[in-house]
Amino acid sequence: MFRIIICALLASFVSMGSMAQAQGGDLPVDPNVRIGTLDNGLTYYLRNNQKPKNRVELRLVIDAGSLQEDDDQQGLAHFLEHMAFNGTENFAANDLVDYLESIGARFGPDLNAYTSFDETVYMLEIPTDEEGLVDKGFSILRDWASRITIDEAEVEKERGVVLEEWRLGLGASERLRQVHWPVLFQDSRYAKRLPIGKPEVIEQAPRQRLEDFYRDWYRPNLMAVIAVGDIDVDGAEKLIRDTFGDLENPANPRPREAYGVPAHKDMLASVATDPEQSFTQTWVAFKHPPAEDRGSREAYRNALLNGLFSGMLTARLSELSKETDPPFLFGVASPGGFVRGTDMFSVAAGTKEEGVERGLKTLMTEIARVRAHGFTQTELERAKADYMAGIERAFNERDKTDNGAYAAEYIRNFLEDEPIPGIEAEYEFAKQVIPAIPLDEVNRAIDVLVHEDNTVIVVSGPEKEGVVLPTKEALLAVAAEGTATTPEAYDDAISQSSLM
């Protein structure tokens, strides 16, 4: 049930086209989604979509997660998520899962939830081909919003389940995060509020502290309800007003603080191994402030420009990975989000166990090559062609977009102001903007994206006999060596004629 969501570390090149537009900027909002706000502050997103037919994706989004926990509540945001499936005013323990299974929903694929640093999201997919099912779905969301019973006996039973999740760590990826995140989030509340929490709190926190978190943060002015699927939008809007309109905010609400990640002057490094980790990966994260107005055309254009930069660097890294004796098995560059208030540009490579230092030096050398000489015009033309082919394909296949993809977009719009103009507007904007982006401007993007300060090197690998990963000090020395090189200009061997 518990999973962590932070923005995709290795987003694909074409994914920059999914950056739709926020409501507050000068780009339009997709006319196919109806967005509204109730008098109590609850926001809703409604869209009719037929992929698949006779199904609807429902979401209850809470703009609060582990960052909102007090010191004696660490882990209770996630614990409360568990309790939502252990009894509400209208569904006793286990009755909810039994009911949903009776109408064809399955726990896991169709019924789930996650808790992250900044949010908690409940997900429900139900059929729409029988009368009353959509009404019941909204009733379930309403119960989660304010009617979780938090029964004392159920709390005691669930402690063991949550503790077992903590002990297991949900596998290698979570255990590695436990090591890396305090370095990536150095000196921030993120480093002190990992969503999995502290075992002593999970084991000993009184029921009342769960109740306190629930009443403090599950309130309509921090909530969104999303419904995407085979629905009547007018009818769904009335249902939301009738079902959620009586939710009330606390008389004296706690302020919803925004927590950033402070910048640091020195480059940092984190190294971790795990017995279940099957490969070795090196990742360099260059953190930087996000665009001030994500809803503006200028910010959207900059996102496209950064995507072209990343695509060209990825192409060079991919070419290196195909050599006879490659420095890494794969290499990729990616712009994107990190956590709220902080974006990042990253380069990553999968290496052999003994090849971490070589792989890291190559990554930093290729960045130095771009800084010294830039990209070539032919590289840019290929990158533009690749991007336009991707967004044109998305436009042509727009009727095939599934309900869950739209629901995920609207979650990001509500929580992070990610723009949502719709693929039609994105395609038109790209046709206007992409051809006119000049090479010198793309080359200057490195001054914003890549820097020596506020940067973290992260290395993960298997824990097994005979495998010794480099120390933090060695990684920092290798990175400095790669950065200080003065490589020759890149030879773009792929001509436009051969490409055609």
User: What amino acid positions are annotated as catalytic residues?
Assistant: 81, 158
Q: What is the DSSP string of 185-250?
A: TTTSHHHH--TT--HHHHHH--HHHHHHHHHHH--GGGEEEEEEES--HHHHHHHHHHHHTT----
The stretches of 375-422 forming alpha helices (DSSP H) are: 377-396, 403-416
C-alpha 241/C-alpha 381 separation (Å) is 50
Please list, residue by residue across 263-293, b when 16 or more beta carbons sit within 10 angstroms of its beta carbon and e when fewer do: eeeebbbbbbbbeebeebbbbbbbbbebeee
Can the peptide bond before residue 52 be classed as cis, meaning omega within 30 degrees of 0? yes
154, 87 contact by CB (below 8 A): yes
Non-local CB neighbours of 160 within 8 Å, separated by 6+ positions: none
3-state secondary structure of 47: strand
Q: Which two tokens stand for residue 311?
A: 């695509």
331, 320 contact by CB (below 8 A): yes
Q: Report which of 492, 489, 487 is spatially closest to residue 368, judged by C-alpha positions.
A: 487
CB atoms under 10 Å from CB of 235, counted, come to 12
C-alpha 6/C-alpha 237 separation (Å) is 30
Q: Report which of 414, 37, 400, 407 is spatially closest to residue 228, judged by C-alpha positions.
A: 407
CB atoms under 10 Å from CB of 387, counted, come to 20
